[in-house]
Structures are given as structure tokens and as C-alpha cells.
Structure 1
Amino acid sequence: MELVNRYIHAVTHQLTGRQREDIKRELQGLIEDMLEERTGGRSASAAEVEEVLLELGNPRKLADQYRGYGRYLISPEMFASYLAVLKIVLLSIGIASTIASAVQMISEPVDALGHFLDYLASLFIGGVQGFTWVTLAFGLIEYFGVKRIRTGMEARNAWRPSDLPPLPDHRLRIRRSDPAFSLVFTILLGLLFTSSLNLFGVWHFPESGSMQIVPFFNETVFRGFLPLIWAVFALGIIKDILKIAVGKWTPALIGFEILVSLLHFVLALFLFNDTAIWNTDFMRQMAESGITPAGSEAFYKVGSNWSRATGGLIYLIGIATFIEIITAAAKAYRLRAIYRR
């Protein structure tokens, strides 16, 4: 019976691991036995089912009893999502720190020990910051009631079976891999922008001498935009955390995704419409490094492509943003169609 299935789901989706399946089987058997006592073998009526569920009580409180506790900063319901996000964030910090340190060791091999110690320090500091911010974010999610968005129930004293949320629709489910990949990319990009901007450029490994990088950006000008970049990236990270925590599409989540996409485009407009953000000595440095000798055919080709790339990048970002908004609007349309049924 659907009401029984909804009740069991409301209890067990707040549990984790093997406990979830064990409690599901136990609850199913318990409810069947209680209905058997009342009906003597005949089919149970809706009123009898509701009476049994009322006797079992609020599924949130029943889940607390199975867990053995009910007080938490991050609830067991959210803990699996919290661990997933924490692993992704720490992995991203580790990847970014490793890339930056490896490049520094290659470009300046004389001070390898100093670079290694800096690498260990950056891993430790970044790990502590990542843990702090993820824990704080999930604590706020708990405080502001995203758990209720997910379950569809308010924690009221006078609970009734009619308060049970519908069983989850697979068409509304958010695959965890999508926001996970987005989190990795955003954090990695943000850390590299902050600490290793010089890695964005043309890498050159001459036959003799150390590695050289011809940077794409004017670091002084770019760093003036960092507060704006951090703010927009932070919203993107919050969006991905919410997608993992909620686990399904909602109108508010779709609206937030559209807002973040628009803000990314606005950020791109601010950044790349300012021509000073690009390395004005790029072609000269390319020639001096020996990558494209001045006056060669390669020099003129690279110069032409460099002009097109710096001028046309904003249009590519605009197209990508348009596709993201159309995709989100299509999700909203499907969501509306599902709710109408």
C-alpha cells in the first residue's frame, strides 16, 4: 500500500548504510503484523492503515529512536552528503596544491626542499579551511531547514499520515556526479586563480635551461577582480552543495541555478571586457622565449589567434551560459508537468 511505503521511506531515508535496509525490512514486517492483528487476514482499510501508522508515530522521531540519538550539528540524514562534499573539496584542494607545487619545483628546482615544505603547509592550511567551510555550510543548511525541503514535512507535534511526502520521482533526482564534478572544477579554478595565476599561459620546455611560462593574464589587474571572482564562485559552490544535499530538483533550486549562471556571465563581462586584464607583452614574451621567433610565420599565426581569442572569449562564454539557462528552463518545464499530474 502506498501510504505504508511512504511511511517506511520517510523513516529509512534518514538512516545510513546497512541499517537502512535492515530497518526497512523490520518496519515492513512490524506494520504487516499490526495490520494482521486488526484485520484477521482481510484486506486492511485506509482508516486501519492510518491508525497503525499513527500508533507508530512521527517517522522523524521513530528514525531518531532507531539511531539512538536525535541531537546533531549535521544530521544522519545529511551526513552521507556532507562526507561526499567534504571528500570532493579536500580532493580539489589537494589537486590544486599539488599542481602548483609541482610546477614551482620544475621551474625552480634549486629550492626543491623549500617548495616541498610550502606544499605540506598549503595542504594542511587548505585542508583545515576546506573542512571548516564545508562543516559551516552544512550546519547552516540544517539550521535553515533544507532537511524539511527534502522530506516535505514540518516537525509538528500533531503528526498525521497525510503529512507524509510522496515517494521520490526518479525524474527529479539529481545525480551526485554532476554537482561533484562542478565542485571539483570550481574549487580547482578558484585556488589556481588565487595562488597560481601564472600557470595559465603557454608552457615552454627548452632543451637547455628551466621551464618557462608565458602568462595569459596581467596579474596585477587580474587580482583586482579576485573579490568579485570569490563571491561568484562561492555562490556556485553553495549551489552544488545544495544539489547534493537536497538530491532532487525543486523550483527554488532551478531558479538558483539560473541565477548563478547569469552571475557567471556577468563576471565574465567584467573580466574580459577590460582589455588590461590580458598580458599586453604576450607576443613579445613568446618571441623572447623562443617559442615563436619574431618575424616567423608561426609568430604571425599565433598573434592572429591571440587577438581573436582575447576578443571572442566573451561570446563563447555567452553561448555556454545561454545553453545552461535553456537546460535549466527545460528542467523547470518538466518539473511543472510532473507536479500537474
Structure 2
Amino acid sequence: MKNWIDRYLYAVGQKLPKAQREDITKELRSLILDALDEKTTSDRLAKGEAYEEKEEDVLSILESFGPPAEVAAKYKSSGRYLIGPELYDLYRLLLTIVLGAVALGICIATLVSILSTQGHFIELLYKLPMQMISAAISAVGSVTIVFAIIQYFAKEEDIKDMNPNSKWSPKDLEPVPVSYEVIKASEVYAAICFTILGIIIFNRFPHIIAIYYNQGAQTISVPIFSIDTLRLYMPYLNIFWIGNVLLNAYKLRIGKWTNALRFIQIGVDIGSLAIFLMMAGNPGILNPAVKESIMNTDFAPLQRLGDIGTTSFKIFIAIIVLTTVFEVCKHIYYSIKK
């Protein structure tokens, strides 16, 4: 028998505040089990024979309790609201879509400005948070006003028809995900930020990836990469990096790993690794002026750094390869395990 009760409690708990989740789900589990015990006892007495608990009994009890969203809303409801529990899930879904679209649009516009104009990189990044905040306030206000008007003027039966949970069935409950299937939002946000930062730096400011040292009163910087050679690989890197950003955005939407998602991630990782290996195999990718400049300085530690530069680069590539192989093997293992 499938663990319908655990699925139901998990679905309710996802819509409750973390501080109250454990206590409420314990209480709700007790109520469900009591109702189930009462039903099976009454059926046993009515038939005058031994009666075993069936899957249909569990589904019937869960259906009588109602959709998880409505049950959670009863624990949170204060009796008066701007947007009621019937519309709240739809409101949150549309608000998430609108905010995501606005944020993506502003990021793309900023990225295009950085790549196509001579505007100062730092100045454009300083403006980005304020643009995000201003657009988010407008988006939240507009969506909230629309739903508040619907809540106030629409008939109760029309609101119920708009509720995605109005035709809910216990059989619609998703299995409770195990720990390795849950996608951590914090890690996804970090991956998106670092990938976008990499796109900006490698496309617009590759010269800042350099070795810096002081020679007298002057600070010397020598780019690590040969800019002309690096540009040959950037279109391919951009394809996989942008693909990784879109993939991470999709991860935020579904919230858990699927086999299809894991194999797409494997494809992106292997593609990115292939480009890096092609770059590493090209002796022209490193700026020859790096070693020459370092060896001409009187600073002994930098001279030693110049001696081991090639070895350090190989170690760096080896770390990337091992990390990628580990991630690929991990996704394959969890896919088979699932």
C-alpha cells in the first residue's frame, strides 16, 4: 500500500510555516488515524466479520479532509484576508512567474548593456539591485491589486472554479521526496549568480583575470589568457553557460531532481568540460607574456610562481575534470537508485 498519509502530510506541511509544521502535521496525523480507525471499526461491526484496512479507506478519509492547501489555510487563516485561500495558490504561482520574468528581463537588459556599450561595469551593476527592487514592487502591486479585485467582486462559486485544488483527489498526491531528490534553492541561486558573473567577466572583461604585482610604485597586471585565443572558444562557452542558467531556473520551479533533469545536467556538465579541455589542449590559450613578465621581476616568490605556472594550470584542469566526473557519477548513481 502506498504511503498516502505521509504524502498528504508532506503536501500540507509544505504550505505551513516551518515553526508550526511539525506540531500541526503530528496533530493532523493523529486526526487522520483516528478517523481511519473509526471507519474500519464501523465497517467491521456492520459486516459482522473481520475487516482489514484497505487503500480505498485511506483515500476516502483523506478526501474527506480536503485538499492540502485548504487544510493548511485553515490553520493559518485569521478569518479576514485580502486574497483568500481559494485564490492564494494561483496568486503565488502567477506572482512567481511575473517576478521571474521581470528579473530575467532586467538581467538580460543589463548583460546586453555591459556587452554592447562602453558603460562602466561597476556602475551598471550598482544600478541593477535598485532596478530589481523597483520592478518587483510594481509587479507585486499590480498582481495583488488584480487578485484583490477578483476576491472582492467575484461570486463564491466562480472563485472556487478558479481554485486549482477544486477538483482535488488524494491520488494526485506526489510521493514524499527523499533527501537526495530535493533541490536546495540556495545552491541554485549561487550557481546562477556565479554563472552570470562568469559570462560578464569572460565576455566583457577577460583582461581582469590576471596576475597583479607591484614594481616600485607601479602596479603591474598581466592577463593570464591570450584574449584573441580565448575569444575563439567564448561562443561555445556562452551556449553551455546560458543553458546552465536556464536549467537552474527550471530547477527552482520544480524543486526536485528527476531522471530527465539529471541527464540534462550531465549533458551540460560534459559539454562545458569538453570546451575547457579543448582550451587546455591549446598551448596558445595562455598569455606568453605572463611567464616573461614574472621572470623579469626582482620579486623571488613571483619568479617561483612563473616556474610552476604550467604545472599549476594542469592541476587546475585536473581539479575541474575530477569535480565534473564526480558530479556526473553522482547523478547516474541516484538515477539508477531511483
Q: What TM-score bracket applies, with the shorter chain setting the length?
A: 0.5 to 0.7
For 1:26 and 1:178, the matched residues in 2 are separated by 33
Q: Deviations over 1:235-265 (max 9, x none)?
A: 2233444444444332122212211220111
Q: Deviations over 1:141-176 (max 9, x none)?
A: xxxxxxxxxxxxxx7986542332222323433445
Q: Secondary structure at the match of 2:174?
A: coil
| Matched AA of 2:244 | G
Residue 4 of structure 2 corresponds to 3
User: Contact between 2:233 and 2:275, CA under 8 Å: does it hold in 1?
Assistant: no
1:188 corresponds to which of 189, 193, 197: 197
Change beyond 3 A, Cα 1:7–1:321: closer
User: Contact between 1:9 and 1:167, CA under 8 Å: does it hold in 2?
Assistant: yes
For 2:212 and 2:308, the matched residues in 1 are separated by 17
Change beyond 3 A, Cα 1:71–1:175: closer
For 2:273 and 2:121, the matched residues in 1 are separated by 35
Q: Deviations over 1:255-290 (max 9, x none)?
A: 122112201111213333333332132233335565
For 2:18 and 2:248, the matched residues in 1 are separated by 23
For 2:259 and 2:165, the matched residues in 1 are separated by 24
Change beyond 3 A, Cα 1:278–1:118: closer
Residue 252 of structure 1 corresponds to 260
- The aligned length equals 277
For 2:41 and 2:240, the matched residues in 1 are separated by 62
Q: Secondary structure at the match of 2:176?
A: coil
Change beyond 3 A, Cα 1:268–1:127: farther
1:164 corresponds to which of 173, 178, 183: 173
| Superposition CA RMSD, Å | 4.7
Give how far 1:222 is off.
Answer: 2.0
How high is the sequence identity, in percent, across the aligned residues? 22
Residue 143 of structure 2 corresponds to none
2:275 corresponds to which of 267, 270, 285: 267
Change beyond 3 A, Cα 1:128–1:168: same
Unaligned runs of 5+ in 1: 98-114, 133-154, 336-341
For 1:119 and 1:267, the matched residues in 2 are separated by 29
User: Contact between 2:294 and 2:302, CA under 8 Å: does it hold in 1?
Assistant: no
Change beyond 3 A, Cα 1:318–1:238: same
Q: Deviations over 1:288-334 (max 9, x none)?
A: 56556xxxx974x5554334455675555433332332232222333
For 2:285 and 2:212, the matched residues in 1 are separated by 19
Counting only pairs closer than 5 Å after superposition, residues 13-52 of structure 1 correspond to structure 2 as 13-14=14-15, 24=25, 31=32, 45-46=53-54, 47-52=56-61
User: Contact between 1:190 and 1:233, CA under 8 Å: does it hold in 2?
Assistant: yes
Asked whether 1:226 is paired with 2:227, we answer no
Change beyond 3 A, Cα 1:272–1:126: farther
Residue 122 of structure 2 corresponds to 119
Residue 324 of structure 1 corresponds to 327
**TM-score of the superposed pair, with normalisation by structure 2:** 0.61
Give how far 1:3 is off.
Answer: 2.8
Give how far 1:214 is off.
Answer: 1.3
| Matched AA of 2:235 | P
Asked whether 1:202 is paired with 2:221, we answer no
Change beyond 3 A, Cα 1:55–1:125: same
Q: Secondary structure at the match of 1:205?
A: strand
| Matched AA of 1:172 | E
| Matched AA of 2:241 | F
For 1:41 and 1:31, the matched residues in 2 are separated by 15
For 1:285 and 1:230, the matched residues in 2 are separated by 31
Give how far 1:180 is off.
Answer: 4.7
Q: Secondary structure at the match of 1:167?
A: coil
For 1:177 and 1:275, the matched residues in 2 are separated by 38
**TM-score of the superposed pair, with normalisation by structure 1:** 0.60
Q: Secondary structure at the match of 1:248?
A: coil
User: Contact between 2:70 and 2:86, CA under 8 Å: does it hold in 1?
Assistant: no
Change beyond 3 A, Cα 1:302–1:34: closer
Give how far 1:51 is off.
Answer: 2.5
Once the two structures are overlaid, the 10-residue window that deviates more, 46-55 or 261-270, is 46-55
For 2:181 and 2:233, the matched residues in 1 are separated by 37
User: Contact between 1:54 and 1:160, CA under 8 Å: does it hold in 2?
Assistant: yes
Residue 138 of structure 2 corresponds to none
Change beyond 3 A, Cα 1:22–1:221: same
Q: Could you say which structure has the larger radius of gyration? A: 2
Counting only pairs closer than 5 Å after superposition, residues 142-153 of structure 1 correspond to structure 2 as none
Residue 214 of structure 1 corresponds to 222
Q: Secondary structure at the match of 1:71?
A: helix
| Matched AA of 1:334 | K
Residue 66 of structure 1 corresponds to 85
For 1:16 and 1:325, the matched residues in 2 are separated by 35
Give how far 1:202 is off.
Answer: 1.3
For 1:227 and 1:126, the matched residues in 2 are separated by 28
